Structure 1
Amino acid sequence: MEKLTNQQILDAGLTDWRRLSQALFARFRTGDFATGLAFVAAVGEAAESAGHHPDVTLTYPRVDLRLVSHDVGAITSRDVDLARRVSEIARGLGVPAEPAGLAEVELALDTADVAAAGPFWAALLTGSTDAHHGDDVVDPTGQVPLLWFQDTDAHETPRQRFHLDVWVPHDVADERIAAAVTAGGRVVDDSEAPSFVVLADPEGNRACVCTVLGR
């Protein structure tokens, strides 16, 4: 299957779905558990028919879904087709989408020695060094956020080495940044916008608001 570019995904017109870091995400407000269960059952039938399966999280008021072609390691036409079918199911059940509520958090660690740090963090976060892949620690169960290692020069001076990457839909990034600033934060660096904007809290701790645009 061919990997889709960000522009191809945007051109697909998936109004209910947004690409965050590596996958398509959607949130549907079901309102109650019974409706959510019916929705998930219908999505499950569609997934079985397509031979392609989303990650699904069912909670009392909502259902969250994540779509990516694991065998390719990217978003493909299979994901777009199933995303459209899931949206059709949601409309048929009267379940509205909430794309503005989507977010994905990744952990980033500055390090000058990934080979040394990687196995430690893999073992700590997942219980196995097998979760360390190149510059990432990936929990196969999805229980903990992805941790990626940002290359840096060796240094001993105390500085912030961990930061959060908060992935949000590209069309709500400005609103999210404005909310953080209103709540006492400040913009440290927006030179890479809309790809990412660096923010700091009142004590100087930094985080990045990230989107797929400009990548």
Structure 2
Amino acid sequence: MDKLTSAQVLESGLDDWRLLAQALHARFRTKDFASGLRFVNAVGEAAEAANHHPDLTLTYPLVDVKLSSHDAGGITQRDVDLARTVSGIAREQGVAAEPRVVAEIELALDTADLAAIGPFWAALLTGDAGAIDGDDLADPNGRVPLLWFQHTDAHEAPRQRFHLDVWVPHDVAEERIAAAVAAGGTVVDAGQAPSFTVLADAEGNRACVCTCLER
């Protein structure tokens, strides 16, 4: 299936879901662990029937669901269809969705020489120096956040090389930025908003609040 654009995903009416960096995310609050397990089992049966399988995380009293089509490199119609099915199961079982609380962290590292440093970080984080795909270092076993390498010019003057990309729902970004500013931060660059906004703490350490909009 063809990969959908961010706009197409947002127009799909998936009220229980939010598109973050690489996938559709949903959080469902169950009444207890047994209810969560019952919900996961029902989702698993639906996934088998659709021959399309989400990532499921069961904790007490939450179930997190993540959907993407790896063969297409993003979100496709089958993800949208399965998301609707999962939401239907949640309604039938009386499980409430909490879409505004989902979030995702990615690490970004400036480098002028990916070939020189990439294998080191891949080996350190995953144990496999070859675990690099383009500009991304992704752990296939899902143990660590995605690290991506941001190409930059060579430089000798000290400056921040690492920063966090904090992916939040598009309808949460403004309040998250406001909360960070109220807590002592500053907006460094909003020129690419709402795609991403660069913030800094009181000592100048930077991070980006990212959304799926205008991507």
Shorter-chain TM band: over 0.9
Residue type of the partner of 1:59? T
Q: Which runs of 4+ in 1 moved over 2 A?
A: none
The equivalent residue for 2:144 is: 144
**1:116-127 to 2 correspondence within 5 Å?**
116-127=116-127
Checking the alignment, whether the CA contact within 8 Å between 2:6 and 2:214 is kept in structure 1 is no
Question: Is the 2:107–2:162 contact (alpha carbons within 8 Å) kept by the matching residues of 1?
Answer: yes
Pair 1:20 & 2:37 matched: no
| Contact 2:106–2:165, Cα closer than 8 Å, also in 1 | yes
Q: What is the aligned partner in structure 1 of residue 40 from structure 2?
A: 40
Aligned to 1:204, what secondary structure does the other structure show? coil
How many angstroms apart in 1 are the aligned matches of 2:34 and 2:110?
45
- CA distance, structure 1, for counterparts of residue 103 and residue 165 of structure 2: 10
Q: List gaps (5 residues or longer) in structure 2.
A: none
CA offsets per residue over residues 143-201 of structure 1, 9 Å max, x none?
10000001111111111000000001101100111111111111111111000000111
What fraction of aligned residue pairs are identical, expressed as a percent?
74
Q: Which amino acid aligns with 1:69?
A: S
What's the CA shift for 1:130?
2.5
Per-residue deviation, residues 35-87 of structure 1 (Å, max 9, x unmatched):
11110000000000000000011110211111001122111011000000000
- CA separation in 2, counterparts of 1:155 and 1:4? 38
Alpha-carbon distance in structure 1 between the residues aligned to 2:152 and 2:71? 31
Q: Aligned runs of 1:13-92 on 2, under 5 Å?
A: 13-92=13-92
Q: Which residue of 2 aligns with 1:167?
A: 167
TM-align CA RMSD: 0.8
**1:165 is matched by which residue type in structure 2?**
D
Q: Take 2:62 and 2:27, find their aligned partners in 1: how far apart are those partners? A: 7
